[in-house]
Amino acid sequence: MLSHQDHDQEPLGLLLVLAAAVLWGLLGVFTAGLLRAGLGAIEIAFWRALIAGTVFAGHAIVARTLRPFAPRALTGAVLFALIGVTMFYVAIAYAVDTGGVSLAFILLYTAPAWVTLLASPLLGEHASPRQWFFVALAIVGVAVVSLARGEGVTPSTAAIAWGLASGLGYASYYLLGKRLLEDRPPEVLYGLVLPLGALGILPFVSFEAKTLTAWVLLLGLSVISTYGAYLLYGLGLRRSRASRAVLVATVEPVIAIALAWLIFGERFGVWGWLGALLVLGAAVGQSVGAKRSPVTNQDSVSPP
């Protein structure tokens, strides 16, 4: 349950989630650059998890926040690592590879539908009519953009499948991640689940020789779009409801689309941009227009 003080901090929490979404929006640029440098999607996923996990573990050591996980929490962390790191990192890299940055990041935002559907049984959150409206608006925007073809955008069966898989993996950050962050800081959780996720990817990696540029892109992907974004997101989610935070974060695909257009020349066309505006409108409407009201048991969770 959010306390009255935590409820008063929700605007700050949503702002932190928004900042995380901006950093996540850079992920597509780093990933596309690495694919063009000759790295495979699975290797990109492995290094992202390993490097970011190492940085988080170092953060936890310096901050002296390390402490053991209870058995049930450890089980939840392993599940989170498999879904939210091993599956998610591989899926998003393959989605970018097969369909382009723009399509991948729109399909990623099937996550809000999963979260709103599952937040009630898993987190005890019940969406209001207003939240359902913005969820519907976001889903319409996702659908319009996903159906739009354009230069550099290839909605093949593989691209759609990997994009939907990444959306499911992303949803775990609001469902499993929310619960695991209740009793521990972000650096402790991610310092464990990211290396575990990398371990799950390792048997499938084919390592390639890497240039200095590739290593720089890997560091950007891992430190900026993973460590920095997750840290901000974890701090923000502790101060806000999962179903509301997920809508604020829908600004991420709009940023990714804009960067893909500027850097790689990807273009959706009129219907694609219309869908992107609907997604952004849903995120902005939820974050700045929501009325404050007391929260009852909607955020009462316990570690798994």
| pLDDT per residue as tens digits for the range 63-90 | 999 888 888 889 999 999 999 999 999 9
290 has pLDDT over 50: no
Q: Can you tell me the mean pLDDT for 38-52? A: 97
Mean pLDDT lowest for which of 239-243, 258-262, 267-271? 239-243
The burial of 104, by beta-carbon neighbours within 10 Å (0-12 exposed, 13-18 middle, 19 or more buried), is given as buried
Cα–Cα nearest to 241, from 115, 80, 134: 115
Helix (H) or strand (E) holding 203: none
> What six digits make up the tokens of 113?
């539908």
Confidence of residue 246 (pLDDT cuts 50, 70, 90): low
Residue that wins the pLDDT comparison between 235 and 85: 85
Residue 185 makes CB contacts below 8 A (sequence gap 6+) with: 60, 63, 65, 234
- Model pLDDT, residue 48: 98
Domains of the chain: which residue ranges? Answer: 4-289
* Residues pairing with 153 in the sheet: 150
Averaged confidence pLDDT in the chain:
82
The Cα 5–Cα 193 span in angstroms is 29
Q: Residue 287 and residue 27: Cα distance in Å, rounded?
A: 23
Task: Name the residue with higher pLDDT: 141 or 295.
Answer: 141
Give the residue with greater pLDDT, 207 vs 140.
207
Q: pLDDT tens across 93-104, in order?
A: 999 999 899 889
Q: Considering only 27-31, 93-97, 192-196, 279-283, which range has the smallest mean pLDDT?
A: 279-283
Rounded CA separation 275/145 (Å):
5
Instruction: Give the pTM.
Output: 0.81
pLDDT digits (tens, 9 = 90+) for 107-156: 887 777 777 777 777 767 777 787 788 778 878 877 787 776 777 787 77
State both tokens at 122: 């898993």
**92: closest CA among 147, 26, 38?**
26
Within its chain, how far is the Cα of 95 from the centroid?
14
Q: Is the pLDDT of residue 34 over 70?
A: yes
Q: What is the model's pLDDT at position 227?
A: 96
Counting every residue written for the chain, the total comes to 304
